[in-house]
Amino acid sequence: MIKISYKKENLIKEIKIEGHAFFAESGKDIVCAAVSTMATTTINNILALDKNAINYEIDDAFILISNKDNEMASTLLETMITMLEELQSNYPKNIKIGG
């Protein structure tokens, strides 16, 4: 199961994504692909607007995004969480989001 946690004060401070969905075999897992795509696209969009807005780390089955108190980055990260929540509603056995 993919586990997603985030820290929010006024702004989204951090998002951590860990694990595998195990929806299908490696290379054919649409849930893992969707989560990876959402995270990578969000990171790239933030960096295109402000290269200093976030720090991030991506490894096998692990993504950590840390916001440097940037309001725009927080808005895009909140949008990503909303998209992930929609994915969770369709695949509740494969993805879990907690605040």
Q: Is the whole-model pTM more than 0.85?
A: yes
Residues 31 and 2: beta-carbon distance below 8 Å:
yes
Residues 91 and 2: beta-carbon distance below 8 Å:
no
* pLDDT band with cut points at 50, 70 and 90 for residue 66: very high
Q: How many residues does the chain have?
A: 99
* pLDDT band with cut points at 50, 70 and 90 for residue 6: very high
pLDDT over 70 percentage in the chain: 99
Half-sphere exposure of 83 (CA within 13 A, CB side): 15
pLDDT at 77 over 80: yes
The SS3 of residue 94 is coil
19-28, 44-53, 90-99 — which one is most confidently predicted on average? Answer: 44-53
* pLDDT band with cut points at 50, 70 and 90 for residue 99: low
CATH architecture for segment(s) 2-98: 2-Layer Sandwich (3.30)
What are the sequence ranges of the domains in the chain? Answer: 2-98
* pLDDT band with cut points at 50, 70 and 90 for residue 26: confident
Residues 32 and 21: beta-carbon distance below 8 Å:
yes
Torsion on CA atoms 10, 77, 79, 86, rounded to nearest 10: -110
Nearest to 38 by CA among 95, 87, 74, 91: 87
